[in-house]
Amino acid sequence: MTIPKLMPFEAIVCDHCGLKQYPRPRCARCQRQLGLRYFGLEMPRDLNHACLPQLIGSLVHDLRLRRKMSQAALGQTSAVNRSMISRLENGHAVSLMVLLRLAAGLGVEEIYFRVGNGRSKSG
C-alpha cells in the first residue's frame, strides 16, 4: 500500500501586526513573540481512507518532535495516556476527542481539514 502525502501546513498569525507566517519564535515583520498557531491538512481527493490513521499519526509525531516534546511530556500537557500517543503515532486510529486534546497540548489552536489542495497550477 503506498501512502500518499497528506501535506500538513502549519502557520502562525502575529497577534500584533497580523502577519501570517511559518512557525518561528519571533514575527518576521514586527519581531514580537508569536503566539497563535494553527495547522491544516490537505487531503487528496483520491485519498485511500485506510491510510488516514497513519498520516495523522505521522503528523502528530512531526509536530511533537518540532516542539522537542517527549510522548510523556505531550501526554501530560494534553491529558492523554502516553501509550495512546504511541499507538496513534504508530498508525492506530484514535477518536477525534483525543486528537483535539493532543492538538491543544501541542499548542495548536485551530485545525483545518481540506479536501483537495484548492490551488491552481498556473502562474
Residues that bind Zn ion (CB under 5 A): 14, 16-17, 19, 27, 29-30
User: By C-beta, is 23 or 53 nearer to Zn ion?
Assistant: 23
CB of 39 to Zn ion, least distance (A): 19
What SS3 state is found at 28?
coil
CB of 20 to Zn ion, least distance (A): 10
CB of 33 to Zn ion, least distance (A): 10
User: By C-beta, is 6 or 19 nearer to Zn ion?
Assistant: 19
User: By C-beta, is 14 or 56 nearer to Zn ion?
Assistant: 14
Contacts 24+ apart (CB under 8 A), 35-38: 36/12, 36/109, 37/10, 37/11, 37/12, 37/13, 37/107, 37/108, 37/109, 38/10, 38/11, 38/13, 38/108, 38/109, 38/110, 38/111, 38/112
User: By C-beta, is 15 or 110 nearer to Zn ion?
Assistant: 15
Helices (H), the chain: 52-66, 71-78, 82-89, 96-105
CB of 12 to Zn ion, least distance (A): 10
